[in-house]
Structure 1
Amino acid sequence: MPTAYQIVEAIAKSQEDSRELQRSQQMQRLFLDQGPFCAYIKDEQSRMLYYNQELQSRFLVDSQEWLGKADSEFLPDPEDARRVMENDQLVLKTLRPLKLIEEVKMPGNNQLCYWLSSKFTFSDGTTGDRRIGGISIDITESIEAQRSLTELNRQLEEKTLKLEAKKRELIYLSDMADMLYSCESEDELYKVIALTCSQLFPNMNGCIFKIANSKNYVQMNSFWGNERTSKEIFSLSECWALRRGKVNILSPHNSGLICNHLIEPVSGTHLCVPLFGQGELVGILHIYAPEEISPEAQQITEIIARTLAIALNNLSIKQRLTYDSLRDGMTQLFNQNYLQTMMEQRLAEAERSGQPLSVIFLDIDNFKSYNSRYGHLTANIVLQRLAKLLLKSIRSFDIACRWGGEEFVIVMPNMTLENLRKRVEQLRIDVQQMQLRDGDRILEGITASFGIAVSEPGITVKDFLNRANQAMLEAKRTGKNRVIEYVNNYY
């Protein structure tokens, strides 16, 4: 039997253990109630058995209001309650802890909050029943910050893509300007514009129309894309951009004027931009898109049209200057500089192909006395008339040149010596029989002396021309008005 002392000592120890248990329970309660997290305990039907002060303050409830209730009875959104209950049942079924992010609308303002939750199961030591425990931390600020960062990244990526698109546009437009500057014909200009537009607007179709020289109709000069939405030839009155000299746009959101050159049924967006060359309306740039054309694309199209107009002006000036620099002002035949340049090329072609190249040197007989008799103005008429005869007598790929004064040179490739003799003899006769007039006055006819030479491998332009010139001088010396062929004994 225990002694009275042992009994007293056992009672004292039991009381101390009870006090220790109470202190431990108080510490646990203080931890749960004063911690910066939401804590709760539920039964197997997800009914609330306990929830701490943080949860009470978050949802503005007292310590008894939710006891015995399921989430569907106090959460404002039924869908939120269903998801929470499904998670509770998953923990009970698997008997394994579950970590997840839960979305819950707060009562009163329906503000969406995000909780990082950890759920687990344990047994009630008193009843042996299974319980669901949970601890949740509010991570709404972190989620919103992450979403803000994601949105900023999206906006940054979008701006980066726009900047890259702008960079490509600038590169295409810069390349277009460089290529337009190097073009030597209108067809090349139109091809450059077609290439640039297909690069800038890959999902659009387009074409360039040029007003005919007669000003009676408009004709398509260039086309890109896979769908034609306009007539190829139409009158100026069928396009509002041509009629008004202003941009005309027709789109689903811009019910503008419908141009009659569009092919029925008209759909999508049509943009007609007028082209001006040397201040004069010369055509239109037409763009078609199945959807709306953005203001940026419209602005780029107008820039392209203006650049094309400038290129047309520059090309016209360039061609005029080139023509003037290569032609003799009086006769409009090629001049001496052009002939010498082209003869180098023609000699190289002749040597590579093995075909002969012929040169004809002719000089009007007694032209100084003719000039003294009729005067310079009338003599110039004779030079112009002879130039027209030479152009009429040669082939399209032959070159006729005024060498200087009353001297002329003709270059003829790919012609046998026999045919050359016949051609030049006929030309001598044509010159002799040419009827000359100065208004109503009939002028005295002229004759010319001709020297001809055929190329040899390795001959220079200078030696080649000298041979033909020597033959012409021999024709002069031996009676004029005749054709002499160069032979080696002229040295």
Structure 2
Amino acid sequence: MTGTQRASVAASTLWVISSGFVGWRVWQETGEKWLAILVTALVAAAGLLAVTALLLFRQLAVASAQQERLDRLTAEWQMAQQTLQELLRQRDQLGLLVRLMQRFVSASERRELLTTLLSELGLFFKLETAEGVLLNQTALYGIWRRQDGRVYLQEWDSDSARQHLHWMGAQPMAGEASGDIVVPVRAEGTVIAVLHLVRLAPFTPEDRQFLEIVAAQVALALGRIKLITSLETLSITDALTGIANRRHWDLRLAEEVARAQRYRYPLAVLMVDIDHFKQINDRYGHQIGDFVLQQVVQRLRQNLRRTDFVARYGGEEFGVLAPQTSLESARILSERLRRAIHSEPITVTGTNGPVAIPVTISVGVAVFPDHAQNESDLVAAADAALYQAKQAGRNCVRMADTAPKGGE
């Protein structure tokens, strides 16, 4: 029994005793027995009613306090649930960011980055479709669909991408709840990529905020790939002429010879040397000599096919790879190059005004498999033919000996 209950019992007992005393006094005063009994009953009932009311109010007060405490505990529990859900959401987002950053660090080209990004976002946000386009001189477009979970890539020029992808011009939605969102990726204030994500459920403000973080990481990753590409290009590019250097030549020669061996088609190698180039340097200086080299390269490139490859082999000597080019076609190509250089002198601006410098080239030609079966023998055969052209008076084309040299 609680303290309140014991106090109520004591009060009730005291009140009953008091009502009996009042009834006794009425009986003494009036001598009316039934009146005394009635007064006693009324007083006792009034007292019991008062005690009962007091107990009821007390219980109501206790119940109200307990309800308030229950409501407070319920609110705290709901807040704890919300906090837990937020922590789980942040954990999942952090996990996605970590995966993306790990994949971005290892990505060396844009195709790999876009494939990873669309796949991860599609699964994380439970999307219907995830589209993305990486903008550059050539736009790389990709789309991920929930039905097959694969990413399909396609290259466009930037103008065609804007024509085909109407959503690229859409403004990112900031406040409107929607399951269709456009996320721009910016670097130094310029849009370098755009993402288009679609799902059935609307994107929350937290989703949008997280996608902004993802976009920032994508911008960093694209900058890294651009830097790597630039460094790779510098490592295989001749600084003076802008064409491939000797390192790139060696790599490309091995690839082209292997491809020619696999598919059994001819591959022509042209070794090109500028005649009497030392005299140009000695007479006009190295700056004019550098300009002559650049002009010769420009004319060579203008007269080569898109599939041909030209590199600076060393000094004033250049190498040309012409895939799927037969012996006779290689001869015709070499003559075209020779005439392009010889037909018109190279005009330079000297201290006394414009100077026209006549320039000629000598060309040695070897063709796989007619003259050699591997890259080293092929270059050696073309070099030997170039030497013959020099011995023949320069400004001419010579073909290598037709007997193949060497083995594999």
Q: TM-score range by the shorter chain?
A: 0.5 to 0.7
Structure 1: runs of 5+ lacking an equivalent = 1-106, 112-147, 214-218, 242-247, 253-267
Alpha carbons of structure 1 residues 299 and 166: separation in structure 2 relative to 1, 3 Å: same
Structure 2: runs of 5+ lacking an equivalent = 1-58, 64-72, 147-161
| Whole-Å separation in 2 of the counterparts to 1:166 and 1:327 | 46
| Whole-Å separation in 2 of the counterparts to 1:278 and 1:470 | 53
| Whole-Å separation in 1 of the counterparts to 2:192 and 2:214 | 15
The reply on whether 1:480 has 2:374 as its aligned counterpart is: no
Aligned length in residues: 328
Using the size of structure 1 for normalisation, the TM-score is 0.56
Which stretch shifts more, 194-203 or 163-172? 163-172
Highest RCO, 1 vs 2 (Cα 8 Å, sep ≥ 6): 2
The amino acid across from 1:428 in the alignment is: R
More helix by share: 2
| Whole-Å separation in 2 of the counterparts to 1:397 and 1:364 | 23
| Whole-Å separation in 2 of the counterparts to 1:284 and 1:486 | 54
| Whole-Å separation in 1 of the counterparts to 2:106 and 2:93 | 20
Helix, strand or coil at the partner of 1:304: helix
| Whole-Å separation in 1 of the counterparts to 2:286 and 2:365 | 29
The offset of 1:270, in angstroms, is: 4.7
Helix, strand or coil at the partner of 2:119: helix
The amino acid across from 1:299 in the alignment is: Q
> Max radius of gyration: which structure?
1
Q: Structure 2 residue aligned with 1:426, among 333, 336, 346?
A: 336
The amino acid across from 1:471 in the alignment is: A
Q: Structure 1 residue aligned with 2:363, among 450, 461, 479?
A: 450
The reply on whether 1:340 has 2:253 as its aligned counterpart is: no
Residues 391-449 of structure 1: per-residue CA shift (max 9 Å, x gap): 12222222100111110000111111111111111211111113412246141221111
The reply on whether 1:327 has 2:252 as its aligned counterpart is: no
Alpha carbons of structure 1 residues 361 and 278: separation in structure 2 relative to 1, 3 Å: farther
The offset of 1:280, in angstroms, is: 3.5
| Whole-Å separation in 2 of the counterparts to 1:459 and 1:178 | 44
The amino acid across from 2:101 in the alignment is: A
Residue 277 of structure 1 contacts residue 312 of structure 1 at CA under 8 Å; is this kept in 2?
no
Residue 250 of structure 1 contacts residue 269 of structure 1 at CA under 8 Å; is this kept in 2?
no
| Whole-Å separation in 2 of the counterparts to 1:459 and 1:416 | 15
The reply on whether 1:468 has 2:378 as its aligned counterpart is: no
The amino acid across from 1:450 in the alignment is: V
Q: Considering only aligned residues, what root-mean-square deviation do their CA atoms show, in Å?
A: 4.4
Alpha carbons of structure 1 residues 350 and 211: separation in structure 2 relative to 1, 3 Å: closer
Residues 342-395 of structure 1: per-residue CA shift (max 9 Å, x gap): 211211111111112221001111111111222111121111111111212222
Helix, strand or coil at the partner of 2:306: coil
The amino acid across from 2:358 in the alignment is: G
Report matched runs for 1:76-91 at 5 Å: none
Residue 176 of structure 1 contacts residue 192 of structure 1 at CA under 8 Å; is this kept in 2?
yes
- 1:208 is matched with 132
- 1:42 is matched with none
Using the size of structure 2 for normalisation, the TM-score is 0.66
Alpha carbons of structure 1 residues 280 and 404: separation in structure 2 relative to 1, 3 Å: same
Alpha carbons of structure 1 residues 299 and 428: separation in structure 2 relative to 1, 3 Å: same
Q: Structure 2 residue aligned with 1:292, among 174, 181, 202?
A: 202
Alpha carbons of structure 1 residues 172 and 375: separation in structure 2 relative to 1, 3 Å: same
- 1:189 is matched with 113
The reply on whether 1:251 has 2:161 as its aligned counterpart is: no
Residue 275 of structure 1 contacts residue 282 of structure 1 at CA under 8 Å; is this kept in 2?
yes
Helix, strand or coil at the partner of 2:260: helix
| Whole-Å separation in 2 of the counterparts to 1:220 and 1:489 | 45
| Whole-Å separation in 2 of the counterparts to 1:175 and 1:490 | 53
